[in-house]
Amino acid sequence: MNLLSSSAMSLSIIQVISVLGLILGLPYFEFTANNTIWIFAGYFILAVLGTSITFHRYYSHKSFEFRYTWMKHLFTSFGILSGRGSPLGWSYVHRLHHIFVDTPKDPHYMPVYGWKVIIPHLMNYGQKVNKRYIRDLLTPYHLFINQYYMGFIVLWTILLGLISIELLYFFYIVPLVMTFASLNLFVLLTHKYGYRTHDTKDESRNNWFISLLLFGEGWHNTHHYNSKLYNLREKWWEIDLCGDIIGIIKHHG
């Protein structure tokens, strides 16, 4: 077993350690205005730029192409550091969700997994990979990231810690927990609560609360209706900051 690889167990370990780190740091660190800015900057980088834009809309659904190669690598690094797995691993699980949506084969299917959907190693979170669903990501680049995934997390943690323990806490540990919490709420709520604009074959919902947390990711019924949309705004009041950012960074060709 490769202890550095991206796996359901490694993601659960990251999740538990980050929560413990946040709790243990509470008596020692002060939540000043500057530190609050660091928290939201870190959260925006991890949850929005890394996970929602890059891992979800770019890698999982190919809804756009980055304008520049260096930009793709930078945003990919944001996704890696979000603690949700490699691009290959995350995309595999998410594609399974779309292929088997709201059935027992869906890794996010609550009638089978219940609260376990928020703990990767307790559910079907890519332990057995069917390569036909991720052939486009079986490249040396992605296989390397997948194989040495935990190494990236550890090196980033050490780097921030050497700069400042306070920076590590407010720019990474707290935002990491916030990212886990927001994405777990996404899984728990977006097929249960909200409104439906489109008559899809699943139970997906557009959820305002999740869209506020994840800057537009909550328009989930619209996403399931057409997963190739890079911007999910259909009504003028359905704000999708993720889609607006993609409009700026995508290749216009």
140 within some domain: yes
228 within some domain: yes
The pLDDT value given to residue 158 = 98
Distance (Å) of CA 195 to CA 202, 209, 220: 13, 12, 10
- What is the mean pLDDT of the segment spanning 90-97? 94
Measured distance CA(45)–CA(1) in Å, rounded = 31
What's the DSSP call for residue 204? -
What is the distance, to the nearest Å, from the Cα of residue 122 to the centroid of all Cα atoms in its chain?
18
178 within some domain: yes
Residue 98 CB neighbour total at 10 angstroms: 15
Q: Which pTM was predicted?
A: 0.95
Q: Which residue has the higher pLDDT, 115 or 138?
A: 138
- What is the mean pLDDT of the segment spanning 14-22? 97
The pLDDT value given to residue 125 = 62
Are the beta carbons of 220 and 194 closer than 8 angstroms?
yes
Tokens standing for residue 3: 């202890």
3-state helix/strand/coil string of 126-144: CCCCCHHHCHHHCCHHHHH
Residue 220 CB neighbour total at 10 angstroms: 24
Q: Which 3 state secondary structure label does DSSP give 250?
A: strand
pLDDT tier at 124, thresholds 50, 70, 90: low
Number of H helices, E strands in the chain: 12, 0
195 forms beta bridges with: 206
202 within some domain: yes
Is the pLDDT at 1 greater than 60? The verdict is: no
CB neighbour burial string for 100-138, b if at least 16 within 10 angstroms, e if fewer? bbbeeebbbbbeebeeebbbbeebbbbeeeeeebbeebe
211 within some domain: yes
Domain of 87 in residue numbering reads as 8-25+34-249
Tens-digit pLDDT profile for residues 132-142 = 999 999 999 99
195 within some domain: yes
Tokens standing for residue 143: 């296989």
3 within some domain: no
Is the pLDDT at 163 greater than 80? The verdict is: yes
118 within some domain: yes
Domain count within the chain = 1
Measured distance CA(43)–CA(41) in Å, rounded = 5
